[in-house]
């Protein structure tokens, strides 16, 4: 039987959802994500694709790598999906296992933190370093250091790995695939297809991998090395 979510986890989930809802309303009022923010996220996504090209090309690890790259840290606006989670919690508890509450809250926390880090980084790039249309590795690393948020960056990396471990644990449960199939129709009728697709794609990618420990360890080690090299002022901080 699935464990009931702890009250602390539920409170944390609702906190991040309320924060994300405010972010979404501000973005909608402003006409969506700005071109500058899309530029930053596209650069970061391309950098991640270069760093982990071998994982993306791997028959075993490719689907999970694309899931992380596109669905957790891609150049997209995830606010609608995150807002859907609040409705899922209130309206689909009879369909969705409680064991999914914790990983979903981690996804919201990651998106919350990533948005804040991206906004701070973009501010430095534009207002302090004069970036207008092109980001270089040198300018990106300099802005990274000026933001001086090493602990938050480490938390971001820890969240990515923890989410991966949670998904890897969940795909081993026999009822997960059945549950996702059963809620596909109700989710689409309710307008939650974006959230449901996110869940299905993530679980399918990790089930295909057949064990995520080595993959997540590789991901963590490379990104932690890059983080440390940026803060150390290395000449080529993105070399791994």
> How many alpha carbons fall within 13 Å on the CB side of residue 184?
9
Number of domains in the chain: 1
Q: Is residue 223 assigned to a domain?
A: yes
Residues in contact with 19: Cβ distance below 8 Å, sequence separation at least 6, in sequence order: 112
Q: Is 205 helix (H, G, I), strand (E, B) or coil?
A: helix
Contact, 83 vs 136, CB < 8 A?
A: no
Q: Is residue 111 assigned to a domain?
A: yes
Contacts within 8 Å (CB) and 24+ apart, 197-204: 198/71, 198/81, 199/100, 201/67, 201/71, 202/67, 202/71, 202/167, 203/167, 203/170, 203/171, 203/176, 203/177, 204/63
* pLDDT the model gives residue 6: 47
Identify the burial level of 147 via C-beta atoms within 10 angstroms of its C-beta, where 0-12 means exposed, 13-18 middle and 19 or more buried.
middle
Print the domain residue range for 37. 7-231
Q: Is residue 80 assigned to a domain?
A: yes
Q: Is residue 33 assigned to a domain?
A: yes
Please report, rounded to a whole number, the percentage of residues in the chain having pLDDT higher than 70.
73
Contact, 98 vs 2, CB < 8 A?
A: yes
User: DSSP readout, 141-156?
Assistant: HHHHHHH--HHHHHHH
Band (173; pLDDT cuts 50, 70, 90): confident
Q: Is residue 115 assigned to a domain?
A: yes
Q: Is residue 30 assigned to a domain?
A: yes
Q: Is residue 239 assigned to a domain?
A: no
pTM: 0.79
User: DSSP readout, 42-59?
Assistant: HHHHHHHHHHTHHHHH-T
| Tokens linked to 145 | 């250091």
Contact, 227 vs 161, CB < 8 A?
A: no
Whether residue 227 is predicted with pLDDT greater than 90 in this model: the reply is yes
* pLDDT the model gives residue 4: 43
Q: Is residue 236 assigned to a domain?
A: no
pLDDT in tens, 23-77: 544 443 344 578 899 899 999 999 999 999 999 999 999 999 998 888 766 666 6
pLDDT in tens, 128-151: 999 988 999 999 999 999 999 999
């Amino acid at each position: 039987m699935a464990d009931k979510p702890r009250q602390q986890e539920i409170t944390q989930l609702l906190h991040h959802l309320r924060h994300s809802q405010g972010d979404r309303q501000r973005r909608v009022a402003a006409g969506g994500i700005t071109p500058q923010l899309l530029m930053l996220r596209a650069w970061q996504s391309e950098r991640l694709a270069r760093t982990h090209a071998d994982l993306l090309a791997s028959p075993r690890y490719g689907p999970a790598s694309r899931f992380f790259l596109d669905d957790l840290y891609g150049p997209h606006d995830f606010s609608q999906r995150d807002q859907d989670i609040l409705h899922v919690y209130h309206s689909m508890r009879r369909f969705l296992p409680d064991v999914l509450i914790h990983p979903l809250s981690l996804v919201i926390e990651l998106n919350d933190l990533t948005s804040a880090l991206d906004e701070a980084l973009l501010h430095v790039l534009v207002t302090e370093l004069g970036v207008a249309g092109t980001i270089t590795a040198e300018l990106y690393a300099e802005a990274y250091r000026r933001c001086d948020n090493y602990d938050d960056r480490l938390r971001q990396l820890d969240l990515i790995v923890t989410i991966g471990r949670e998904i890897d644990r969940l795909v081993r449960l026999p009822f997960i695939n059945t549950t996702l199939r059963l809620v596909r129709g109700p989710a689409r009728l309710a307008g939650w297809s974006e959230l449901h697709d996110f869940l299905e794609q993530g679980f399918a990618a990790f089930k295909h991998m057949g064990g995520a420990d080595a993959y997540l360890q590789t991901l963590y080690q490379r990104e932690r090395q890059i983080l440390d090299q940026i803060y150390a002022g290395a000449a080529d901080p993105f070399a791994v």
